[in-house]
């Protein structure tokens, strides 16, 4: 059966590729760094330029579609997810990596209808890996199907997490206490790529068993979350309920056994929701 969103998905892949070229080019030159909510919440002109490039090209092709973009929200646009077709864009996921030339940087484009992610595109620009997931039709990296790890024991797993940009002492204490419990289970290892989108693709690829974080935003995880479920994995809230993409909390794992062993270690907290921004 023909896919209703095939044209939109093809467009997302093409524009992510083009955005990746802009990011790679910018990495060869000077990067002017600005800050947003705090001195460690970074943004560059490239983030803004890439977001505009994506939004402009989608508007020309799909004028009725709506947008949630990281930099547009930072500039005061609402973060409203309605039932209308909506593109959720992180022009550079891993901005801090980009600023420091730490080589994991992604363009992330999720596409939602009726508040469900229909497709997700994550382009890992420096690895030149194009991850694409389509609801009900699988997840792929450079055309190769993705499948999560079949490990069921957290003690034989690698777990990915991030410190994010929240330096509120209570939040930092909870992040460290959760991490300590996970390290001491013990797990085989803990890693951070510095981009939520790539972390989710690592789960989808079977390279790690789980990723969790409190403090991410909907644009960091919209595309990558579908990558995980289409590769056979699961998503949960950090307290074990259903994931809510606006809640800024996620556990993504290869299966329910591992996800359960993760969320039970976490000292959960609730940052302000994205749709309350």
Q: Which residues of this chain interact with ligand IPD, rule CB under 6 A?
A: 70, 90, 93-95, 162, 164, 194-196, 213, 215-217, 220
Rounded to an integer, what distance in angstroms lies between the CA atom of residue 202 and that of residue 65? 30
Tell me whether residue 57 or residue 165 sits nearer to ligand IPD (CB atom).
Answer: 165
The least distance separating ligand IPD from the CB of residue 47, rounded to whole angstroms, comes to 8
Residue whose Cβ sits closest to ligand IPD: 162
Residue ranges of alpha helices (H) inside the chain are: 6-27, 45-61, 70-74, 95-100, 169-183, 196-205, 218-230, 256-263
Tell me whether residue 55 or residue 196 sits nearer to ligand IPD (CB atom).
Answer: 196
Structure tokens at 190: 């803990």
Tell me whether residue 134 or residue 217 sits nearer to ligand IPD (CB atom).
Answer: 217
Tell me whether residue 55 or residue 113 sits nearer to ligand IPD (CB atom).
Answer: 55
Q: Is the peptide bond before 186 cis (omega within 30 degrees of 0)?
A: yes
- From the CB of residue 136, how many other CB atoms can be counted at a distance below 10 Å? 9
The least distance separating ligand IPD from the CB of residue 248, rounded to whole angstroms, comes to 8
Residues 51 and 181 sit within 8 Å (Cβ to Cβ) = no
By annotation, the residues acting in catalysis are 70, 90, 92-93, 95, 220
The least distance separating ligand IPD from the CB of residue 164, rounded to whole angstroms, comes to 4
Judged by DSSP in three states, 133 sits in: strand
The least distance separating ligand IPD from the CB of residue 220, rounded to whole angstroms, comes to 4
């Amino acid at each position: 059966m023909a896919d209703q969103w095939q044209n939109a998905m093809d467009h997302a892949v093409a524009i992510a590729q083009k955005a990746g070229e802009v990011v790679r080019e910018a990495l060869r030159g000077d990067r002017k760094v600005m800050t947003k909510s705090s001195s460690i919440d970074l943004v560059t002109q490239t983030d803004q330029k890439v977001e505009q490039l994506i939004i402009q090209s989608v508007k020309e092709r799909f004028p009725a579609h709506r947008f949630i973009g990281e930099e547009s929200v930072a500039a005061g646009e609402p973060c409203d997810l309605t039932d209308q077709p909506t593109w959720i864009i992180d022009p550079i996921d891993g901005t801090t990596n980009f600023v420091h030339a730490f080589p994991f940087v992604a363009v992330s484009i999720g596409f939602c209808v009726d508040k469900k992610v229909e497709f997700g595109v994550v382009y890992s620009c420096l690895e030149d890996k194009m991850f694409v997931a389509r609801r009900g039709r699988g997840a792929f990296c450079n055309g190769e199907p993705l499948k999560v790890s079949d490990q069921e024991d957290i003690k034989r797993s690698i777990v990915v997490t991030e410190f994010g940009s929240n330096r509120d002492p209570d939040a930092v204490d909870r992040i460290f206490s959760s991490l300590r419990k996970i390290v001491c289970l013990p797990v085989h290892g803990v890693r951070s790529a510095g981009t939520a989108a790539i972390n989710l693709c690592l789960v989808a690829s079977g390279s790690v068993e789980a990723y969790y974080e409190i403090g991410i935003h909907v644009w960091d995880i919209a595309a990558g979350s579908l990558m995980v479920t289409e590769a056979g994995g699961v998503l949960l809230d950090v307290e074990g309920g259903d994931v809510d993409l606006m809640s800024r909390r996620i556990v993504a794992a290869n299966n329910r056994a591992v996800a359960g062993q993760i969320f039970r270690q976490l000292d959960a907290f609730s940052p302000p929701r994205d749709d309350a921004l």
